[in-house]
Amino acid sequence: MIEAQGLVKRFRDKKRGEVRAVDQVSFRCRPGEIFGLLGANGAGKTTTLRMLATILTPSEGTATVAGYDVRKEPQKVRSCVGFLSTATALYGRLSAQEMVEYFGRLHGLDERTLRLRIDASFERLEMNDFRDRRCDKLSTGMKQKVSIARTLVHDPSVMIFDEPTVGLDVMAARTIIGFIRECRDRGKTVIFSTHVMSEVEKVCDHIGIIHDGRLLAEGTLAELRQRSGKQDLEDIFVEVVEQ
C-alpha cells in the first residue's frame, strides 16, 4: 500500500527562486493495483516517485509505503520497494549476475537465499546466456532484464516505475509493460509514471493526472471518462490540464 498525504517538494532555483516541484499531492495505491501517474515532462512525476522511494525527502507532508513512513523510516521503505526507471542505470564493469548479487547483498539477503532468487529470476527472464557478461556489453533489452532482476531480488511488496519505457524500442518496452502487469498479478502495489497515454490505458487501474506539481484529477479510467464526458484519454488529459 502507498498512501501519499499532502506531499510538497520545494527547490531553490537561481533564476526562478523557490520552485514547488510537487504541491500538496495526495493519493492512495492499493496492493494488486496499478496506479498511473500521468503528466507532461516537468509536471512533478519523477520528484513524487523519488519522494516515495526516499531518494528525496519531502519538504512538507509525508507518505507511508508498505506501512513505513518515508520521513521516519526511509531505510525500511527502501527495503520494501523496487524502483525502476530509465535513470537507474547498471554498473557497466559488473556482470549481470554480479549486478543482481550486489543489490541482493545490500538488501541483506543471505547467500543461500540470494543464490535461489538469482537462479529463479535468471531462469524466468531467460538471462542465463549472458549472466557472466559485463553489463556494458549487453543490448538494451538485456539491460532491461538485468534491471528487472535487480528490482525483484529482494521480493519487494511495492514497485515504483518512473517512465520505464522512455527511449526503449517496441520489444524492450513490451517486456517492461508485461513485467508491470505481472507485478500487479502477484499482488504487489504498483505505481507507474508516464506521459504515454496508450500505456496508461493498457495497464493502469487508477490514474492520477499531475500538472505543475499538483494532482488535478484522480480515478479509474471509467470514472475520468464519466466526469469529463470524453472517451479519449488524451482529450481528458488536455481538458484537465487546461482547466
94 is a site residue for other proteins (CB under 8 A): yes
Q: Are 86 and 36 in contact (CB under 8 A)?
A: no
91 is a site residue for other proteins (CB under 8 A): yes
Strands 214-219 and 206-211: antiparallel
Taking the complex as a whole, the smallest distance from the CB of residue 121 to other proteins amounts, in Å, to: 17
Question: Based on CB atoms, which residue is closest to other proteins, 76 or 133?
Answer: 76
Which residue from 202, 205, 203, 208 is spatially nearest to 236, judged by alpha carbons?
A: 208
85 is a site residue for other proteins (CB under 8 A): yes
d(CA 107, CA 241): 40
Question: Based on CB atoms, which residue is closest to other proteins, 5 or 59?
Answer: 59
Residue with cell 539477503: 109
The sign one gets for the Cα dihedral 104, 105, 106, 110 is positive
Residues 120 to 159: which contact other proteins by CB under 8 A? 134, 150
Total of residues contacting other proteins (CB under 8 A): 31
* Member of 25, 81, 138, 224 binding other proteins (CB under 8 A): 81
Cell of 194: 508516464
57 is a site residue for other proteins (CB under 8 A): yes
92 is a site residue for other proteins (CB under 8 A): yes
* Member of 5, 26, 62, 88 binding other proteins (CB under 8 A): 88
181 is a site residue for other proteins (CB under 8 A): no
2 is a site residue for other proteins (CB under 8 A): no
What distances in angstroms separate CA 174 from CA 138, 181, 221, one per listed residue? 18, 11, 21
* Member of 90, 177, 180, 200 binding other proteins (CB under 8 A): 90
CA dihedral (194, 200, 203, 207) in degrees, to 10, reads 90
Residues 4 to 23: which contact other proteins by CB under 8 A? 11-12
107 is a site residue for other proteins (CB under 8 A): yes
Residue with cell 549481470: 96
